[in-house]
Amino acid sequence: MPTMPRFVRPLLIVTTLIVLVACKPKSPAEAQAALPASSAPPATIASAMAADSSVPEAAAPTPILGDFTILRVSLGRSLDISNDIADERSVFSSRDPVYAAVVTTGTHQGLMLSARWFDGDGKLLAQNDQRLVPDGPMLASFHLEPPGGWPKGHYKLEIALDGQAQQSKEFDVR
């Protein structure tokens, strides 16, 4: 059996390592981009309302989030010094402003974070949007205070990324 020259084995090992490193995705976002998108977007109030002729039927494409994640959505009557919810609650009076704090982690090259406010019948009351280019943990806040106060009832806040619902919080006004 012929023997290999001494330099061939280390050369093969180095070449194999170079090929492996070159084929590895450079970031979690690139790895996520290589995967096929889900064919079924998550169900939302907006998609349930698609039968209504005033709501467009086309669904937004599922955003590729990479390592970006929403950790927490909180509701309250006010914000503390760090812009987080000072007094988390799910029941408000008709004169209370309703604040939402959205805590996120991860990075992204750019996305739209939206707060959609719905009444108990699923009617969209308002939408607040913030364009983000997160480079680590962050806190975004939204608030809604209808003129004349909130009518008593059940409400829902839906947090969306690039048009796709991610999390929601329900609350009541008594």
72 CB-side CA count, 13 A = 10
Does residue 31 belong to any structural domain of this protein?
A: no
Does residue 135 belong to any structural domain of this protein?
A: yes
For residue 116, the cross-strand partners are: 127, 158
Give the integer Cα–Cα distance in Å for 74 and 101: 5
Does residue 138 belong to any structural domain of this protein?
A: yes
**What CATH code is carried by the domain that includes residue 140?**
2.60.40.10
Domain containing residue 136:
45-173
Question: Position 117: which residue type?
Answer: W
Give the integer Cα–Cα distance in Å for 150 and 130: 24
Burial class (CB in 10 A: 0-12, 13-18, 19+), 73: buried
Yes or no: say if 140 and 82 are a contact pair by the CB < 8 Å rule.
Answer: no
Does residue 69 belong to any structural domain of this protein?
A: yes
Q: How sure is the predictor about 2, in pLDDT bands with cuts at 50, 70 and 90?
A: low
Give the pLDDT confidence of 40-50 residue by residue, as tens digits: 233 332 333 33
Question: Position 89: which residue type?
Answer: R
Does residue 30 belong to any structural domain of this protein?
A: no
Does residue 36 belong to any structural domain of this protein?
A: no
DSSP state of 33: H
Count of structural domains, the chain: 1
Q: What is the pTM of this model?
A: 0.64
Give the pLDDT confidence of 7-28 residue by residue, as tens digits: 445 444 434 333 333 444 444 3
Give the pLDDT confidence of 133-146 residue by residue, as tens digits: 999 999 999 999 99
